[in-house]
Chain A
Amino acid sequence: EVHLVESGGGLVQPGRSLRLSCTASGFKFADATINWVRQAPGRGLEWVGFIRNKAFGGATEYAASVKGRFTISRDDSKSIAYLQMNSLKTADTAVFYCTRDNDEWGKGTTVTVSS
């Protein structure tokens, strides 16, 4: 059974950094594209970015709203994907989800950016 668990969320001040993790099990992690999607309070889903598998060079793409501030990486040996978030803004407050190829979703981790 595919299982995705996000962790690392919490309360952080504007301008600071946070790293989220997406720990996977139940499938061949190295073959998957991992997406990060977020949902601000009371709002819809917003794609954040993805990282492809090694066959596609581990390429990454990001939404314009986070490009240059967020970085996605992966450790296939540990079946973990990371979302490094720098220069956080209050507008980044959201529940962050990771997905496997947009087919399966984790339960999310909450990030609150506030002073």
Chain B
Amino acid sequence: QAVVTQEPSLTVSPGGTVTLTCGSSTGAVTYGHYPYWIQQKPGQAPRTLISDTTNKHSWTPARFSGSLVGGKAALTLSGAQPEDEAVYYCLLSSWMFGGGTNLTVL
């Protein structure tokens, strides 16, 4: 069974840009893994930001974008805001969650 890997923690400055990545222990992440990016703020339910690699929802701030980079799924945040501080989970193939990246805006 594949293990989904994410950076445990990252820090970004307010207004800065950061890229979170999502890898698979079995090889490159592809569009066929239908990567999802899910945000969870403390004490709140998760919320999906990106579906199927790049698709945003109506509630997804424009500063978030999804892509594939170097064999991994990537979530890029451009122009970080204090309210973006959260844990971000990657989901592959509809059932494999990564351990989450704790993003600090500082």
Query: Which single residue of chain A is at the shortest CB-CB distance from B6?
Result: A44
Is B89 on the interface with A (CB-CB < 8 A)?
yes
Instruction: Judge whether B103 is part of the interface by a CB distance below 8 angstroms.
Output: no
Interface membership of B64, Cβ < 8 A = no
* Interface range on chain A (Cβ under 8 Å from partner): 10 to 19
Which residues of A lie under 8 Å from residue B96 when comparing CB positions?
47
What separation, in Å, do the CA atoms of A108 and B46 have in the docked complex?
9
Report whether B48 and A45 are in contact in the complex, using a CB–CB cutoff of 8 Å.
no
State the CA gap A97–B47 with chains docked (Å): 11
Q: Mark A52-89, 1 if CB is under 8 A from B, else 0.
A: 00000000010100000000000000000000000000
Roughly how many angstroms separate A41 CA and B100 CA in the complex, as a whole number? 15
Q: Cβ of A35 < 8 Å from any Cβ of B?
A: yes
For the complex, is B99 an interface residue (Cβ under 8 Å from A)? yes
Within 8 A of A (CB), among B38-94: 38, 40, 45-48, 51, 57, 87, 89, 91, 94
Considering only CB atoms and an 8 Å cut-off, how many residues of chain B contact the other chain?
A: 19
The residues of A that contact B87 with a CB separation of less than 8 Å are 44
With the chains together, A104 CA to B51 CA distance in Å?
11
Within 8 A of B (CB), among A23-62: 33, 35, 37, 44-47, 50, 61
Contact A47 B100 (CB under 8 A): no
B56 to chain A, nearest CB (A): 11
CB pair A44 B99 closer than 8 Å: yes
Interface string of A80-104 (1 = CB under 8 A from B): 0000000000000000010100111
7 closest cross-chain pairs (CB), A and B: A47-B95, A45-B97, A107-B45, A44-B100, A105-B45, A105-B46, A44-B99
Q: Which residues of B contact A (CB under 8 A)?
A: 36, 38, 40, 45-48, 51, 57, 87, 89, 91, 94-100
* Extra pairs beyond A35-B94, A44-B100 (18, CB < 8 Å): A33-B94, A35-B95, A37-B46, A37-B97, A44-B99, A45-B89, A47-B91, A47-B94, A47-B95, A50-B94, A102-B36, A102-B48, A102-B51, A102-B94, A103-B51, A104-B48, A105-B47, A107-B45
